[in-house]
Structure 1
């Protein structure tokens, strides 16, 4: 009887070890994929203006502070660049500094998060608000890549004026996006519309083992 019990125990031990190894590998795989899942879930929720779900994936106090620092740096660089050049541009940058609070408040919202995740960061323009991303009125658009628009004639004068007045308007094509870890507890998504265009990054921070939240932006990566 004792021999039989010992034999059964020896037979089940490799099975238990195998199950433990499978569980550990699955947990590690899920831990690695968790920021990608968080990014996907947050983008869907932001495009759908699902504020409750957005709140689960965004650290708004940290994002607000990051936006304040980044936009201040953006405007400071703009002032330095135009200090001996175009005085109107310098005045615009100074106005932007004065209106920094409303701009940050506008982007630290589900609308602002949707804009950030659709390639439309703040530009630091006076009175700027996050533009409405194309997927906002059609959440399924986030799942299907936008077709490449056919070449068209040069825009008419009113269109060109509208583009100049609102440089943060919805881009005609989705941005090029790269994502990856930048350390054990930081995950970075970088957006760029073209080889010569400026880049910016959305930064997710780890909270616990599997939870990630959008916590910062980098407007000058």
Structure 2
């Protein structure tokens, strides 16, 4: 009796460890399925929007260095006039396209938002779901840690373009998307 309880305890511990290790992959698949099904509630449970916006904003902001002060009307009247006529409102943030359901769906498939082919609607049959798992681009782990995991998705047809999705553990088996690293030429 004691030996069988020990075997059961070891088996449960091993299953818990395996589940803990593969939980980020399940979170990625859940995010991909939720964006394809346009399930806003499920996506909001899988994405930390504030952290994701901060991550993407740092990559998408034009970082043109400011050279000195604004031109003076006495030294450069034309430059001062141009500076005064610039719009007061900042340009629309580029990050908003990435924060939508379509944008997140494109990122999980390795595409840039607005440039991705339409996502196929999920097939409800068991064979259709199995085909979708095999056919879709797989997320490869580029780093796995107990609290943070990076999964890399290659763009179909362009293996050099890799999008990295960074998931962070928020509970024992709960992982959320907190950052995305875009391919270098799309930053």
TM-score (norm 2): 0.68
Instruction: Quote how far apart the aligned CAs of 1:61 are.
Output: 0.9
Q: In 1, distance between residues paired with 2:137 and 2:13?
A: 36
1:207 maps onto 2:138 in alignment: no
Match of 1:54 in 2: 43
Match of 1:139 in 2: 122
Cα RMSD of the aligned pairs, angstroms, is 3.0
Q: In 2, distance between residues paired with 1:219 and 1:100?
A: 19
Q: In 2, distance between residues paired with 1:14 and 1:59?
A: 45
Q: Which residue of the other structure, out of 71, 74, 79, is the alignment partner of 2:60? A: 71
Q: Which runs of 4+ in 1 moved over 3 A?
A: 130-133, 140-145, 173-177, 193-198
Q: Is the 8 A contact 1:179 1:189 kept in 2?
A: yes
Match of 2:68 in 1: none
- Gaps in structure 1 of 5+ consecutive residues: 1-11, 81-97, 123-129, 146-172
1:22 maps onto 2:11 in alignment: yes
1:99 maps onto 2:61 in alignment: no
Q: In 2, distance between residues paired with 1:111 and 1:213?
A: 18
Instruction: Quote how far apart the aligned CAs of 1:183 are.
Output: 2.4
Match of 1:152 in 2: none
Q: In 1, distance between residues paired with 2:43 and 2:21?
A: 21
Q: In 2, distance between residues paired with 1:196 and 1:52?
A: 32
Q: In 2, distance between residues paired with 1:142 and 1:25?
A: 28
- The Cα offsets for residues 167-212 of structure 1, whole Å up to 9 and x where unpaired, read as xxxxxx9767423533222221223335674322111111122111
5 Å-filtered alignment, 1:169-180, equals: 177-180=139-142
Q: In 1, distance between residues paired with 2:109 and 2:159?
A: 18
Q: In 1, distance between residues paired with 2:164 and 2:129?
A: 19
Q: In 2, distance between residues paired with 1:142 and 1:134?
A: 18
Q: Which residue of the other structure, out of 89, 97, 108, is the alignment partner of 2:99? A: 108
- The Cα offsets for residues 7-43 of structure 1, whole Å up to 9 and x where unpaired, read as xxxxx22222121111111111111111111111110
CA pair 62-19 structure 1, distance change in 2 beyond 3 A: same
Q: In 2, distance between residues paired with 1:212 and 1:202?
A: 12
Match of 1:38 in 2: 27
Secondary structure in structure 2 of the residue aligned to 1:198: strand
Equivalenced residue count is: 154
